[in-house]
Amino acid sequence: MSMADRILKPGEIEAPAGEIRFLFLPGRDLFARRAERFRLLAPGHSLGGYLGFLALLADAQQEALDGFPPLPPPTLEEQTLCREQGMPLLDARLRSRNRAWREGLALILRRMAVAEVPTAARETAAGLLCAAESRLEEMADWILAGESAAVPPQESPFIAAALQVYWVHMATALGEHVFVRLEAGGVCPVCGSAPASGVVHAHGSEQGLRYLSCSLCATQWHMVRLKCSSCEATEGIAYYSLEGTNGAVKAESCPDCNTYLKLLYLDKDNRMEATADDLATLALDMLMDEAGKARSGPNLYLHPGGEVEEG
């Protein structure tokens, strides 16, 4: 047998797609768990101050989610249409938002305006509380269109945080059974957004399977390994990790589209959380950036042009 014969092809190491659970919606305690993870990661970390800020932001998100009012679901007609056409039911770019997302935002801003965070962040939150509805809607549109760079860097995480709460609320209120696999494997089957990172599960029947984690609604959906989540190329995929780490987080890089996505290997550390651990490993992003590779999906807590202060 030649070397080439022994190289696994995508899908070969896994059960047929029909037998695999393809979707995990986030739990209603998502933001509490995320906050806990930020708090665990922050002490002694070079970005500790920033991770501490995000822990408080995630606390506020959880409070907003807990108090979210019931909202009208998509009609049965819409559900059937999306299923037939293979479209995300809660498409973040196409679907109009219920104004309730701004009430969630207001709660988050009220908490952050008095939180123990840097003065500048408190002032930004207080300023946004007075912003015109039209301006908030415009910023939300930019973020959901993947154009966060058009939003002021200090404001972007607050708006994004409220949008996350809204989509998590909508998705979990509907339940898993209404969502279907899309033909495009690299976008979220719930909201159509790009993944923030991928997670390789460590337990049960999903052990060893790779799930992509949505940057907006935190849904995890299955995608075979050894395949670029951005362009679905399968040749020449390479993995990079930071020297001196245990390899729990690796960047999966594609030579075809020159992008990468981080993968979190839960068998190495099962406390990892897709969004928090993505942010705690920004050093790996810098390494990939130096190598000329671009992230394939955003982390919405992070402004693409924004500086993160160390300390």
| 233 is an interface residue for Zn ion by CB under 5 A | yes
Can you tell me the distance from the alpha carbon of 198 to that of 4, in angstroms, rounded to the nearest whole number? Answer: 27
Smallest gap from Cβ 109 to Zn ion, in A, equals 23
Distance, in Å, from the CA atom of 288 to the CA atom of 199, rounded to the nearest integer, reads 19
The b-or-e profile of 294-306 (16+ CB within 10 A means b, else e) is ebbbbbbbbbeeb
Binding mask 23-62 for Zn ion (x = CB under 5 A): ----------------------------------------
Show the binding pattern over residues 196-215: x = contacts Zn ion (CB under 5 A), - = does not.
------------------x-
Size of the residue set binding Zn ion (CB under 5 A):
15
Pick the piece of the chain touching Zn ion (CB under 5 A) from 71-79, 133-141, 252-260, 280-288. Answer: 252-260
Residue from 218, 219, 200 nearest 210 by CA: 200
Nearest-approach distance from CB 215 to Zn ion, in angstroms: 7
Q: Does 105 bind Zn ion (CB under 5 A)?
A: no
| Closest C-alpha among 244, 242, 247, 248 to residue 288 | 242
Cβ proximity of 279 and 51 under 8 Å: yes
Give CA–CA dist 259/231, Å, rounded: 9
Looking at this protein, which amino acid is placed at residue 152?
P
Question: Rule CB under 5 A: is residue 257 a binding residue for Zn ion?
Answer: yes
Neighbour tally for 89: CB within 10 Å:
22
Taking every pair of Cα atoms in the chain, the longest distance, rounded to a whole number of angstroms, is 69
Query: What is the nearest approach in angstroms of Zn ion to the Cβ of residue 230?
Result: 5
Distance CA 52, CA 243 (A): 25
Which of 32, 126, 178, 231 touches Zn ion by CB under 5 A? 231
Q: Which of 228, 249, 276, 284 binds Zn ion (CB under 5 A)?
A: 228
Choosing from 41, 160, 188, 272, the residue that interacts with Zn ion (CB under 5 A) is 188
Site map (CB under 5 A) of Zn ion, residues 62-101, x = contact = ----------------------------------------
Does the protein bind Zn ion through residue 217 (CB under 5 A)?
yes
The helix-helix angle for 48-66 and 156-174 (nearest 10°) equals: 40
How far is residue 203's CA from residue 208's CA, in Å, rounded to a whole number?
Answer: 8
Q: Which stretch binds Zn ion (CB under 5 A): 25-33, 155-163, 255-263, 284-292?
A: 255-263
Task: Point out which residues bind Zn ion (CB under 5 A).
Answer: 188, 190-191, 193, 214, 216-217, 219, 228, 230-231, 233, 254, 256-257
